[in-house]
């Protein structure tokens, strides 16, 4: 199973009902390049939908460009070639782009809903906050130091990702995406970023993890926040385990489909 492909499928909002279930089953069997070859019966059993629905859904996903299908054959005992499970490939780059585009759209919608907010660059540079001359407040009152305006000033101040040291634009997007996925509507503030940067650095000292390693651990575990101590505690609970543990994903091999509760099935 490719955790990377699985996380992309989980996050993409256009997948609903049987589309989501079938894509998750394919991702469960896929490698990091998106290749997999589960049988129709296997997909039906793991997704909890009928074989007929699986076939219809696969055809719809293929038409929409969310997978490619290749017929495979094997040699039977009689020496004749017979049909084997199809080979499927999920478009990993398209899945990743879709997740990033969703994040960009959400950020753009947030900016539009807050016209007074200072526009932020997609990179890691800071933009000076706007002056008070346009705010209309009394000269004797400093809104930046007024506790009643903590929420407003936090929104207006640009986020400084340089607290992480060397960081790529993709890693900036990953931090925002993982925080939103794991913590829901909890805001991403400068205080949150500073705390994460401190804990990532500590995890690097204790376990030799890079920034990307920390992001992977954070995403895989589904933690609302991140603490280096949590990694150490997890490792200490498993005798002989030295490397940080990965988050547990739904066990698609157990036959338990309770992880899909709440999803609306459709063709």
Whichever domain contains 14, its CATH number is: 1.10.10.10
pLDDT for residue 127 is more than 90: no
The per-residue pLDDT for 139 is 47
Residue 58 lies in a domain: yes
The per-residue pLDDT for 198 is 92
Number of CB atoms found within 10 A of residue 21's CB? 25
Residue 72 lies in a domain: yes
- The verdict on 86 and 11 lying in the same domain is yes
pLDDT band of 246, cuts 50, 70, 90 = very low
Residue 214 lies in a domain: yes
Please tell me the total count of domains within the chain.
2
Residue with tokens 């200072």: 118
Angle at 154 between CA 105 and CA 13, to 5 degrees: 25
What is the average pLDDT across 223-240?
70
Residue 249 lies in a domain: no
Residue span of the structural domain in which 226 resides: 160-236
Burial of 72 from C-beta contacts in 10 A (0-12 / 13-18 / 19+):
exposed
Tokens encoding 80: 């004749």
pLDDT for residue 104 is more than 80: no
pLDDT for residue 107 is more than 60: yes
Domain end position, chosen among 73, 94, 115: 94
Domain end position, chosen among 56, 72, 94: 94
């Amino acid at each position: 199973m490719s955790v990377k492909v699985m996380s992309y499928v989980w996050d993409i909002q256009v997948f609903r009902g049987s589309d989501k279930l079938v894509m998750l089953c394919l991702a469960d069997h896929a490698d990091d390049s998106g290749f997999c070859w589960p049988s129709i019966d296997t997909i039906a059993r793991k997704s909890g939908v009928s074989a007929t629905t699986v076939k219809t859904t696969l055809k719809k996903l293929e038409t929409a460009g969310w997978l490619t299908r290749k017929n495979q054959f094997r040699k039977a005992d009689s020496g004749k070639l017979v049909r084997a499970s199809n080979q499927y490939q999920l478009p990993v780059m398209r899945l990743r782009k879709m997740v990033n585009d969703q994040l960009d759209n959400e950020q753009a919608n947030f900016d539009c809903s807050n016209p007074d907010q200072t526009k932020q660059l997609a990179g890691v540079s800071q933009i000076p906050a706007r002056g008070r001359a346009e705010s209309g407040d009394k000269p004797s009152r400093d809104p930046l130091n007024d506790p009643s305006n903590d929420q407003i000033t936090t929104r207006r101040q640009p986020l400084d990702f340089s607290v992480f040291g060397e960081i790529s634009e993709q890693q900036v997007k990953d931090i925002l995406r993982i925080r939103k996925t794991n913590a829901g509507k909890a805001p991403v503030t400068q205080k949150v970023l500073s705390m994460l940067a401190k804990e990532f650095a500590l995890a690097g000292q204790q376990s030799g993890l890079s920034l990307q390693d920390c992001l992977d651990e954070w995403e895989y575990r589904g933690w609302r926040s991140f603490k280096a101590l949590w990694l150490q505690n997890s490792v200490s609970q498993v005798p002989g385990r030295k490397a940080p543990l990965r988050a547990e994903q739904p066990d698609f091999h157990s036959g338990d489909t309770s992880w899909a509760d709440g999803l609306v099935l459709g063709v």
